[in-house]
Amino acid sequence: MASFMQKRRQYIGSHGVRDARRPRINEQIISPEVLLVGESGSERVPVAEALARARAEELDLIEIAGKVNPPVVKIGDIGQYLYQQQKKERKQKSGSKQTEVKMLRFGFRTEQHDLDRLVDRAREFLGERHLVKFVVRLRGRELGNKTFAADKLKGVVASLTEDAEVEQEMRMQGNNFVVVLRAKK
């Protein structure tokens, strides 16, 4: 088992500067009085007494909440405490996935069967809680018949009304009609 000073060097580092993301331990706790939390409850004690208790158990005094007055500390192994914190962070990170905007494009003359495939694909994306952006491209003479393209896009949106709601209304962007949908809650 590593000695107390070896653990401390591992924790602080050879250059002696404490990492701000890590909690203070042992002599790094600067408050004269702390709130010691344990299995039996919590009690206000001088930091020297809490440090003596930790050394008697051959464990570390770990500052859990340093911004409160008095700081909250507990007795435990610093390595195990940091491992548990990392585990919590990983679990939180895995649960929060970024939503992406999935873009589905189709042209002015796209047939109904192809539109049905796009609608099915959009349902898959909405099921994964992504935003779906539909784009209708207009080129050349198609620009003269914008109402037909807008109606086609409205039909696609109407076929998704039970699965999605409109995040961003249909509008013209350059030579394209664009609408953004989000999954219903």
Alpha-carbon distance of 44 to 42, in angstroms, equals 7
What pLDDT, in 10s, does the model give residues 23-75? 777 878 878 888 888 888 888 888 888 888 888 888 888 888 878 888 888 88
Q: Is the bond preceding 32 in cis, omega lying within 30 degrees of 0? A: no
Instruction: Say if CB 50 and CB 15 are below 8 A apart.
Output: no
**CA proximity to 110, closest of 145, 144, 137, 143:** 137
User: pLDDT by residue (tens digit) across 84-138?
Assistant: 888 888 888 776 667 788 899 988 888 889 999 999 999 998 888 888 999 998 8
Q: What CATH fold (topology level) applies to the domain 101-183?
A: Translation Initiation Factor IF3 (3.30.110)
CATH of segment(s) 4-93: 3.10.20.80
Q: Is the pLDDT of residue 14 over 50?
A: no
For the chain, the structural domain boundaries read 4-93, 101-183
Pairing of strands 101-107, 72-76: unpaired
C-alpha–C-alpha distance, residues 87 and 71, integer Å? 24
Report if pTM > 0.75: no
